[in-house]
């Protein structure tokens, strides 16, 4: 009897009981959609990378790995200690330029970073961004989770401001701040005289700076949640055994918080690696020499076909991101430390700070906020500026940039395109996301459910430029070709890439509803479909709306697919493509009009993110966690 219950017959009976016709339909639409617009395009990228001269070949992979442009580093044996040298590093970390002005000799230090080839540059940018974001995010999380001081809750919320901007928009604002005649040099060199020379940050260091300032809240949110979830009795027992101060932190607090910190850090690594917007803004410098920009720059051959070189680069980027994503899931699950508490909800241990220490904490947080809000301040000032030279603030303000955007036929069309595409995609995301979350939450233990969970979560780790390459490769020459209309593939890309926000929000709501309510409805005669729409959906409606709001706004700000498709079909391009086009191909407006578009996006993002979290009454970690 035991074998029949737990063996194949028992499994088949359970599948038959759990999977009614409605559940099979839900599963089918999710699988078909992800197969058509994620799995097949990504497989096309992978297969094409191993294809040359009519058959299987490693030619393109070998060509890239041996090309000095992509991987110039070579080890050479020498006769002197340490008997080995590393060759192929180009450029220098910084360059000093001195010039004469009316006030005397001026010095500018250009911080540009070494060039180690596209592959190593990409990994180094992601590594340093992750390192700085983790240090900054964990420090802030630890302060807010472990100490009490006046205004701590308000400060904690304000430190999440960078989440209200994407790297593409943030980079536009920050670039004005960090150039030689930018705001930081005017403030710290010209006005305050704190630094003896001007510093311009450009190239790869600028990319790291932008990404760090915008991504550290991801680590902070994950670390904060991990820290406040620690059973205080564990720390109290350690204190009773003599552990205190740094020893308590090193042996108890940090190990227990490690899974959350690592999850946030690895997610930042993925987001940094797939960022295309920041390298585009710093085009013309070493920022170009990263994988995402090179794929974007080489995706089409002169004949209008998909370049195999770009396809292979996309495959390499995809493999790296995929490995890191798998590491997130496996590491966090394997390193989940046991909380030996009595159960229930506990109050985290928080120590009250002295006035002196509180002042130091405020100084630290204000310094972080000063730099973290520079991208947003820069975008806002540029959007309303009429002229802005080497001064602390624009010399005059105007609404002309917004008027110019709305009176520009092409710009207005791209705004409407973004709204329409994102709205349609949000509808699809709600249908697919609710279906997937319902199956994952309510059908636990069935074969393949964990795989389904992975399938609907993994888009957050798939680089947008790789998805764009795969979609072009798969559908170019078909009725869905972006050269015919960019709408179908943009909607499909938005749906697949941004669906994790809807899935996680809905899943969170389902986990907070009692499954016994479903069973009660079944016992009184309601079928699964009626139970789903009559019982389940009303209880999770707020979660559905909140997840849809987040998916909508992140679709509006999608860069990779938007710019690639926009380049192939200007009429159907979204507003992110128009921002890119204004920055580098526009005849007027400079950075002011792109900043106006960016300001609108940033404002919408603020409204939708705050609205979603007010609806959920929960922290955003549930919506960005893996």
Q: Kindly report, residue by residue over 264-302, the tens digit of the pLDDT.
A: 888 899 889 989 999 999 988 899 999 999 999 988 877
Q: What CATH code would you report for 118-182+206-383?
A: 1.10.3720.10
Rounded CA separation 156/495 (Å)? 32
Neighbours of 325 (CB within 10 A): 21
* Contact of 22 with 528, CB cutoff 8 Å: yes
- The Cα–Cα gap between 241 and 138 comes to 26
* DSSP for residue 342: -
Is residue 544 within a helix (H) or strand (E), and if so which, with residue range?
helix 537-556
d(CA 542, CA 229): 25
Specify the pLDDT at position 481.
Answer: 87
- Cα pseudo-dihedral 574, 580, 586, 591, rounded to 10: 120
CB-CB contact of 469 with 310 (8 Å) = yes
Of 136-140, 440-444, 476-480, 514-518, the least confident = 514-518
pLDDT at 425 over 50: yes
Give this prediction's pTM: 0.87
* Cα–Cα separations (whole angstroms), residue 387 to 25, 373, 391: 58, 22, 10
613 Cβ contact list (under 8 Å, min separation 6):
546, 619, 620
- Is beta strand 74-77 parallel, antiparallel or unpaired with respect to 55-56? unpaired
Non-local CB neighbours of 449 within 8 Å, separated by 6+ positions: 439, 440, 443
pLDDT tens figures, 406-418:
999 999 999 999 9
Mean pLDDT of 563-589: 83
pLDDT in tens, 307-356: 889 999 999 999 998 888 777 666 555 444 444 344 444 566 678 888 99
Q: Around Cβ 336, how many Cβ atoms within 10 Å?
A: 11
Contacts of 370 (CB under 8 A, 6+ apart): none
> By mean pLDDT, which of 247-251, 476-480, 566-570 is the weakest?
247-251
* pLDDT tens track for 66-105: 999 999 888 777 777 776 877 888 888 888 888 777 677 7
373 DSSP 8-state letter: T
pLDDT at 445: 75
> pLDDT tens digits for 185-206?
999 988 888 988 899 999 999 9
Contact, 321 vs 274, CB < 8 A?
yes
Question: Strands, E, within 170-269: which ranges?
Answer: 198-201
Would you place residue 4 in the very low, low, confident or very high pLDDT band (cuts 50, 70, 90)?
very low
Strand partners, 51: 56
Classify 20 as helix, strand or coil: coil
pLDDT: which is higher, 245 or 161: 161
Whether 621 shows a pLDDT value over 60: the answer reads no
Q: Does residue 237 surpass a pLDDT of 70?
A: no
pLDDT, mean of residues 439-452: 84
Specify the 3-state DSSP secondary structure of 396: strand
Provide the pLDDT for residue 239: 67
Q: What is the spatial distance between Cα 292 and Cα 270, in angstroms, rounded to a whole number? A: 12
Domain 18-56+403-624 and domain 118-182+206-383 have a common topology: yes
| Res 623: pLDDT | 40
pLDDT for 525 equals 62
Convert the pLDDT of each residue in 541-560 to its tens digit: 888 888 888 889 889 988 88
Quick one: the chain helix, strand, coil %, rounded to 5? 70, 5, 25
Task: Give the residues across from 110 on adjacent strands.
Answer: 95, 200
Candidates 366, 417, 360; CA nearest to 579 is 417
What is residue 517's predicted lDDT score, i.e. its pLDDT? Answer: 67
H-run or E-run covering 106? strand 104-111
* Average pLDDT in the chain: 84
Taking the domains of the chain in order of start, what are their residue ranges?
A: 18-56+403-624, 118-182+206-383
CATH number of 18-56+403-624: 1.10.3720.10
Whether residue 320 contacts residue 312, with contact meaning beta carbons closer than 8 Å, is answered with: no
CB within 8 Å of 230: residues ≥ 6 apart: 253, 256, 257, 339, 348
**Tally of CB atoms within 10 A around 337:** 14
pLDDT range class, residue 622, cuts 50, 70, 90: very low
Who has greater pLDDT, 483 or 432? 432
The pLDDT value given to residue 619: 41
Determine the pLDDT at residue 341. 40
How does pLDDT run across 112-167, given as a tens digit for each residue?
889 999 999 999 999 999 999 999 999 999 899 888 888 888 888 888 888 878 88
Radius of gyration of the chain (CA): 26
pLDDT at 316: 94
Query: Quick one: pLDDT at residue 34?
Result: 94
The alpha helices in 335-445, defined as continuous H runs, are: 355-372, 374-384, 400-407, 409-442
C-alpha–C-alpha distance, residues 182 and 188, integer Å = 10
Share of the chain above pLDDT 90, in %: 35
What confidence score (pLDDT) does residue 2 get?
Answer: 44
Res. 209 pLDDT band, cuts 50 70 90: very high
Assigned token pair, 69: 């442009």
């Amino acid at each position: 009897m035991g074998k029949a219950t737990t063996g194949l017959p028992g499994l088949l009976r359970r599948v038959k009981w759990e999977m009614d016709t409605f559940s099979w339909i839900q599963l089918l639409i999710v699988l078909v959609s992800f197969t058509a617009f994620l799995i097949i395009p990504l497989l096309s990228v992978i297969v094409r990378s191993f294809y040359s001269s009519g058959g299987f070949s490693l030619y393109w992979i070998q060509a890239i790995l041996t090309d000095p442009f992509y991987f110039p580093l070579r080890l050479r044996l020498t006769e002197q200690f340490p008997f080995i040298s590393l060759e192929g590093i180009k450029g220098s970390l910084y360059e000093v330029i001195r010039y004469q002005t009316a006030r005397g000799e001026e010095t500018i230090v250009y911080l540009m970073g070494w060039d180690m080839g596209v592959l190593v540059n990409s990994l180094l940018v992601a590594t340093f961004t992750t390192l700085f974001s983790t240090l900054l995010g964990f420090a802030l999380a630890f302060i807010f989770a472990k100490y009490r001081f006046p205004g701590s809750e308000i400060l904690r919320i304000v430190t999440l401001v960078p989440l209200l901007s994407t790297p593409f928009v943030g980079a536009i604002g920050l670039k004005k701040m960090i150039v030689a005649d930018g705001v930081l040099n005017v403030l710290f060199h010209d006005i305050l005289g704190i630094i003896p020379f001007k510093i311009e940050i450009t190239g790869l260091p600028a990319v790291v700076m932008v990404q760090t300032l915008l991504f550290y809240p991801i680590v902070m949110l994950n670390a904060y949640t991990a820290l406040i979830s620690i059973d205080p009795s564990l720390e109290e027992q350690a204190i009773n055994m003599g552990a205190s101060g740094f020893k308590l932190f090193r042996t108890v607090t940090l190990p227990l918080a490690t899974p959350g910190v690592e999850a946030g850090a690895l997610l930042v690594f993925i987001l940094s690696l797939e960022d295309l917007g920041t390298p585009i803004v710093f085009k013309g410098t070493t920022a170009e020499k990263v994988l995402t920009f090179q794929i974007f720059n080489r995706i089409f051959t002169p004949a209008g076909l998909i370049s195999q070189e770009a396809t292979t680069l996309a495959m390499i980027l995809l493999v790296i991101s995929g490995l890191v994503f798998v590491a997130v899931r496996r590491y966090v699950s394997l390193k989940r430390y046991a909380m030996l508490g009595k159960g229930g909800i506990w109050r985290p241990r928080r120590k009250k700070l002295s006035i002196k220490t509180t002042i130091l904490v405020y100084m630290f947080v204000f310094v972080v906020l000063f730099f973290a809000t520079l991208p947003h301040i820069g975008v806002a000032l540029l959007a309303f500026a009429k002229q802005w030279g080497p001064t602390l603030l624009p010399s005059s303000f105007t609404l002309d940039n917004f008027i110019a955007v709305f009176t520009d036929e092409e710009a207005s069309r791209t705004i409407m395109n973004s709204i329409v595409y994102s709205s349609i995609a949000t509808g699809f995301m709600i249908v697919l996301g609710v279906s997937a979350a319902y199956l994952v939450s309510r059908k636990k233990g069935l074969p393949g459910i964990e795989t389904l969970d992975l399938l609907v979560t993994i888009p957050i780790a798939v680089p947008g430029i790789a998805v764009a390459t795969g979609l072009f490769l798969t559908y170019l020459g078909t009725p869905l070709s972006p050269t015919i209309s960019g709408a179908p593939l943009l909607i499909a890309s938005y749906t697949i890439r941004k669906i994790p926000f809807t899935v996680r929000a809905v899943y969170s709501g389902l986990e907070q509803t009692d499954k016994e309510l479903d069973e009660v409805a079944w016992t009184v005669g309601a079928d699964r479909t009626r139970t789903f729409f009559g019982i389940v959906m009303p209880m999770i409606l707020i979660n559905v709306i909140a997840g849809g709001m987040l998916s909508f706004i992140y679709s509006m700000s999608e860069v990779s697919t938007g710019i690639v498709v926009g380049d192939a079909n200007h009429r159907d391009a979204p507003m992110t493509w128009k921002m890119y086009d204004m920055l580098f191909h526009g005849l007027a407006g400079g950075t002011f009009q792109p900043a106006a578009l960016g300001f609108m996006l940033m404002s919408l993002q603020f409204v939708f993110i705050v609205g979603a979290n007010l609806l959920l009454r929960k922290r955003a970690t549930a919506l960005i966690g893996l």
